[in-house]
Copies of this chain bind each other. A is one copy, B any other.
Amino acid sequence: MLVVMKHNASQEHVDAVVATIEDMGYSARPIPGGQRTAVGLIGNDGGVDSARIQGLEGVLEVIPVTQPYKQVSREWKEEDTLVTLPNGTVVGGPEVVVMAGPCAVESEGQIIDIAHRLREVGATILRGGAFKPRTSPYSFHGLGLQGLELLAKAREATGMMVVTEAIDPQGVDLVVEYADIVQIGARNMQNYPLLRRAGQAGKPVLLKRGMAATIDELLLAAEYLLAEGNNNVILCERGVRSFDNHTRNLLDLTAIPVVKSLSHLPIIADPSHGTGIRAKVIPMARAAVAAGADGLMVEVHPDPPRARSDGAQSLYPEQFEVLMDQIRIIARSIGRDLVAPLPSAVAL
């Protein structure tokens, strides 16, 4: 941490900064410069609360030099984390994975039918909401436990892995029982009791970036999971809040190479929530793969106009098929490939 003093800070001001740093248990190293003095804080483990120094007289600015996260950083672990699922799908390796399915599980027919169609064209992970956080208390909130049971049936029928969201600590326990990946949604990225429980879940976690979360905050949220002993964490860019209203969110694809340089964790993109509009999902899905995403999460519905939620951003199954063909080529253009489709036998 670097404490930058004001131009006209007195020696007393500098001394007070040094004393405060030492009182906090660190060493201080004054660095006189041409225009002003700075004081380095040495021995920082990333957990220093700069607030105490910030308020001292003569201090212009406190600049964090050490990153605030640890276990998620590439400096802590150089090699990529691979999240391996029971059906053989590996997230974070050279192959790009595709998670697809409806926004919400609506009925047995719906979820089994769509799972078969997605599996045929190469998706190996099935998404579908059972517990839906909704902006309005009067909207459809999902089938709950019944939704989880239907997802498990679809897994049995197709061999696909299941990813679904938990919205409170108790929900984590339920989701773990039925699904293969526990999803933490954007609205809950900083719901710390939920993160702690997910960190103890014993299954991989998909952590979505909050609507206005900086990349450092996303990594710190992931740090909660790793701090509980869960290293199987997949990050997900799904759009941030911005000022233009032609799309639901602003999909920040640059976050993908940024995260990959800062962290060893895999990161995928969700162009469905990232745009909110069917016609924009396909180009942005392609763009995410071109930007280096380790995977995609895409909403596909057998009959989008009749979807009970997010129909406007759900692809038709035929569109999804075209998309798979395009991203296979794009993945190969950068030396990757799509995860191999599940063998037919799995479904028996």
Contact = CB atoms under 8 A, between A and B. Distances in A.
Nearest to A132: B192
Interface in A195-242: 210-212, 214-217, 220, 223-224, 227, 240-242
Contacts of A109: none
Contacts of A314: 55
Interface in A52-83: 52-56, 61, 63, 65-66, 68-70, 75, 78
Interface stretch (A94-102, A149-157, A326-334): A326-334
Given A167-B193, A190-B133, A223-B136, A243 B242 contact: yes
Chain B CB within 10 Å, residue with most, of A192, A241, A244, A308: A244
A168 B169 contact: yes
Contacts of A161: none
Contacts of A193: 167-168, 171
A38 B190 contact: no
A72 to B, nearest CB: 11
B187 A215 contact: no
A135 interface: yes
B311 A55 contact: yes
Nearest to A278: B55
Contacts of A216: 246
A55 B190 contact: no
A252 interface: yes
A66 B31 contact: no
Interface stretch (A2-10, A85-93, A117-125, A337-345): A2-10
A271 to B, nearest CB: 9
Contacts of A68: 135-136
| Copies of this chain present | 4
A334 B279 CA distance: 15
A145 interface: no
A257 B245 contact: no
B280 A286 contact: no
A250 interface: yes
Given A168-B194, A214-B243, A250-B250, 9 more contacts: A38-B65, A46-B136, A52-B306, A52-B312, A136-B220, A137-B192, A212-B240, A242-B242, A283-B290
11 contacts: A7-B75, A46-B138, A52-B304, A55-B313, A63-B65, A210-B212, A212-B212, A212-B240, A257-B279, A330-B333, A333-B333
